[in-house]
Amino acid sequence: MRNLLALIGAAVMLFAGLGWYLGWYTFALEPSVNGKQRIQFDVDTGKLTDDVGKFGEKVGTVIQGVRNGDPSKAQPAEFVGPPMPPDMPTRGAVAYPQPTPGQFTIPTTRR
């Protein structure tokens, strides 16, 4: 029984921390007219449903890939890296500029 309560507590803490990090809800303390503190709690239900939907799609894709017997195709690989310069070609052969004569000098002294 104690382990079940610990599991439920851990799940609640995980949901609370994840929701705070992802911006599903916000807290605000405001002074009221009587000099007391007022706690305001706002929930962004649109963001919450969008994030849960995206998570569900990813889990469904992984499960479908495992069912098909190929977990490597569960999620397509995406290139994540720094942005490329706008003048850099993205398809075909890459041409590197050649130096013009006299642009670079190589010292020929020996020691």
Region of 69 please: left (phi>0), alpha (psi -120 to 50) or beta: left
Residue 51 has pLDDT above 60, yes or no: yes
The string of DSSP letters for 64-99 reads HHHHTT-GGGSS------PPPPTTS--SSPPPPPPP
DSSP state of 62: H
Q: Give 55-104 pLDDT, tens digit per residue.
A: 888 888 888 777 776 655 555 556 666 777 777 766 665 566 666 666 66
Please give the Cα distance from 79 to 77 (Å, whole number). Answer: 7
Q: pLDDT (tens digit, 9 = 90+) per residue, 2-38?
A: 899 999 999 999 988 988 898 888 888 888 888 888 8
pTM listed for this prediction: 0.47
